[in-house]
Amino acid sequence: MRLFVVDAFTDSAFRGNPAGVVLLDTPAEAAWMQAVAAELRHSETAFVVTAEEPKPLRWFTPETEVDLCGHATLAAAHVLGGEQAFGTRSGVLHCRAEDGRVAMDFPADPPTPVAEDVAAALPGATVEHVLRGGTDLLAVLRDGGEVRALRPDLDAVAGLGARCLIVTAPGDRAGIDVVSRVFAPAVGIPEDPVTGSAHCTLAPYWARRLGRDALTAEQASARGGIVHLRLDGERVTLSGGAVTVVDGTLRV
């Protein structure tokens, strides 16, 4: 089987979010895919059945299968090239080449305010609002500097009862509308470098707050990455660059 490692949401190798991509002729057993993902240790590995249309696509963290993953979808579309339609747990996802990037049509996940106390998870942070999307919590801080300097209590984050905790603030650098970081220890990812699915929640929140449907977002992890957002009703277009760093053969 062909195996790739692709750095997603970046134009430079060793930046953005690395994802494994395994191309399959026929569907594979979930236990085997989980074992491969645990071996690769990327935040997600994508498994694509290339002989069907739309192409079945599943994503696994080192510990569990997930319902939606942006960066590994971008990685798979980058490997396959052209226009692609993937059949997933979150419906059919369409991807295409656009201005040197891969653009992905994803479902929006608008968050709603909740009375959730995240102070223990974010010591020292000024939390202005807490919201919840379909699977994730969103904590809005006062400014981007706080997001960048944040040192969360990962045990407390894991106990929040969400797939991950998205921490965000207005952009604090030229050309950046939104800054965020994403912590997901509950699914085996202490901090995710760049999280496409989290931007399905960030896009509707910030579009409403800033009064614009087109935004540029920075995920300020150690590797960092840029996600271009366009909100269109109940859908979000996420786009970004990608670089293949490994092209090999999986032999088991």
Q: Which pair of tokens denotes residue 210?
A: 């800033």
Question: 44, 116, 146, 218: which is the annotated catalytic residue?
Answer: 44
Question: Are 216 and 206 a contacting pair, CB within 8 Å?
Answer: no
Q: How far apart are CA 26 and CA 138, in angstroms?
A: 38
For residue 45, what are the CA distances in angstroms to 6, 187, 227? 10, 13, 19
Q: What number of other Cβ atoms are within 10 A of residue 113's Cβ? A: 10
Active-site residue flag, 44: yes
Sign of torsion, CA 101 135 27 249? positive
Active site residues: 44
